[in-house]
């Protein structure tokens, strides 16, 4: 018997054997962090051996693959929808803002071109007032176009190429000029900044063209839809190419239907009166 026990002392607890060098010590269970979900894994015996009762949660199945595919497809459709919305926003507001900005520049150019010409009696003998006017250069402004029904106005440029009519309606170079006998023909894009609402025009609606010295008031006489190959709509006598004109006509052309171009929307109008700009604006334009 230990002598310390005889003296009433408490015996020391037996020492536990320390693990030998290289032996694995029992791993401490990590404490879960706040917000973590702790799932206790319990194993049970099957014919194939032991497995976790929760192992099905991590094993891919047909339905899990279907859910993954649906989730990916949904995200792809949402992304595509956002792209479409952005494009539509550009078509409605972005392009209109760009066209309006260019229209402002064209208006300034036209005002400069229409500045009063010098008096030939003061300019000296070198002046040649009887010299014929040079043809307008493509892309340069030549007239103003107003549709009171829409409260819209544009500067018309020379030419109907894609570069010419990108920001403005364009004049067919071989057609008559404003107020002349023949067919003053103008093409424009079917966007919200230009000829978007052209299909709303009806017979009798006024269309005003502004020249250097005069206002030309036209009235709509016909609206029709044709194929792109039917170029006779811009002939001097619309629909009758080769015939000598006797009327002063206006024709507006644009794509049809909206957002497509496999047809053409045509508006024909006839000149009803000419008003000198010295007398002010036409009554159709208001004050």
Domain that holds residue 250: 140-285
Please compute the mean of the pLDDT values over residues 34-48 and round it to a whole number.
Answer: 61
Whose structure tokens read 């044709």? 226
Asked whether residue 20 is domain-assigned, the answer is no
Is the pTM here over 0.75, yes or no?
no
Asked whether residue 217 is domain-assigned, the answer is yes
Asked whether residue 61 is domain-assigned, the answer is no
Which of 32-36, 70-74, 124-128 is predicted with the least confidence, judged by mean pLDDT?
A: 124-128
Asked whether residue 86 is domain-assigned, the answer is no
Asked whether residue 76 is domain-assigned, the answer is no
102, 171, 255, 268: the catalytic one is: 255
- Which of 90 and 188 is assigned the larger pLDDT? 188
Asked whether residue 266 is domain-assigned, the answer is yes
How do 170-171 and 152-158 pair as beta strands?
parallel
- Whether pLDDT at 233 is above 80: yes
109 three-state secondary structure: helix
Specify whether the CB–CB gap between 252 and 233 falls below 8 A: no
For residue 11, name the pLDDT band (cuts at 50, 70, 90): low
Q: What is the CATH number of the domain that holds 278?
A: 2.40.260.10
- Whether pLDDT at 282 is above 80: yes
For residue 17, name the pLDDT band (cuts at 50, 70, 90): low
- Whether pLDDT at 125 is above 50: no
Question: Total structural domains in the chain?
Answer: 1
Cα–Cα distances in Å, from 202 out to 167, 185, 197, 268?
A: 25, 18, 11, 10
Number of Cβ atoms within 10 Å of the Cβ of 14? 6
Query: What are 37's two structure tokens?
Result: 């979900």
Taking only the tens place, the pLDDT of each residue in 43-81 is 666 666 655 555 555 556 788 788 888 888 888 888 877
Active site residue 44: no
- Whether pLDDT at 129 is above 50: no
- Whether pLDDT at 35 is above 70: no
Question: What is residue 42's predicted lDDT score, i.e. its pLDDT?
Answer: 60
44, 102, 138, 189: the catalytic one is: 189
- Whether pLDDT at 37 is above 70: no
How do 263-276 and 182-187 pair as beta strands?
unpaired
- Whether pLDDT at 186 is above 90: yes
Please compute the mean of the pLDDT values over residues 19-28 and round it to a whole number.
Answer: 55
Asked whether residue 271 is domain-assigned, the answer is yes
Question: What is residue 108's predicted lDDT score, i.e. its pLDDT?
Answer: 95
How do 182-187 and 141-147 pair as beta strands?
unpaired
Whose structure tokens read 């929808």? 81
Specify whether the CB–CB gap between 53 and 39 falls below 8 A: no
For residue 204, name the pLDDT band (cuts at 50, 70, 90): very high
Asked whether residue 38 is domain-assigned, the answer is no
Active site residue 171: no
């Amino acid at each position: 018997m230990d002598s310390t026990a005889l003296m009433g002392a408490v015996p020391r607890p037996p020492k536990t054997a320390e693990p030998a060098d290289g032996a694995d010590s029992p791993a401490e269970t990590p404490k879960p962090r706040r917000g973590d979900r702790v799932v206790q894994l319990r194993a049970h015996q099957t014919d194939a051996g032991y497995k976790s009762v929760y192992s099905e949660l991590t094993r891919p199945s047909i339905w899990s693959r279907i859910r993954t595919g649906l989730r990916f497809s949904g995200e792809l459709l949402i992304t595509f929808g956002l792209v479409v919305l952005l494009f539509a926003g550009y078509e409605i507001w972005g392009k209109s803002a760009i066209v309006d900005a260019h229209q402002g520049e064209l208006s300034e150019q036209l005002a400069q071109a229409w500045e009063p010409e010098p008096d030939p009696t003061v300019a000296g003998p070198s002046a040649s007032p009887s010299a014929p006017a040079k043809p307008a250069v493509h892309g340069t402004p030549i007239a103003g176009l107003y549709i009171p029904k829409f409260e819209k106005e544009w500067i018309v440029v020379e030419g109907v190429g894609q570069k010419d009519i990108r920001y403005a309606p364009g004049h067919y170079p071989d057609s008559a000029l404003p107020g002349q006998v023949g067919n003053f023909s103008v093409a424009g894009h079917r966007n919200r900044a230009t000829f978007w609402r052209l299909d709303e025009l009806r017979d009798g609606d006024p269309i005003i063209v502004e020249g250097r010295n005069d206002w030309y008031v036209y009235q709509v006489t016909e609206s029709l839809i044709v194929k792109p190959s039917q170029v006779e709509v811009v002939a001097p006598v619309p629909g009758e190419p080769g015939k000598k004109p006797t009327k002063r006509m206006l024709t507006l052309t644009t794509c049809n239907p909206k957002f497509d171009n496999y047809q053409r929307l045509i508006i024909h109008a006839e000149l009803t009166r000419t008003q000198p700009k010295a007398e002010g604006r036409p009554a159709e334009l208001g004050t």
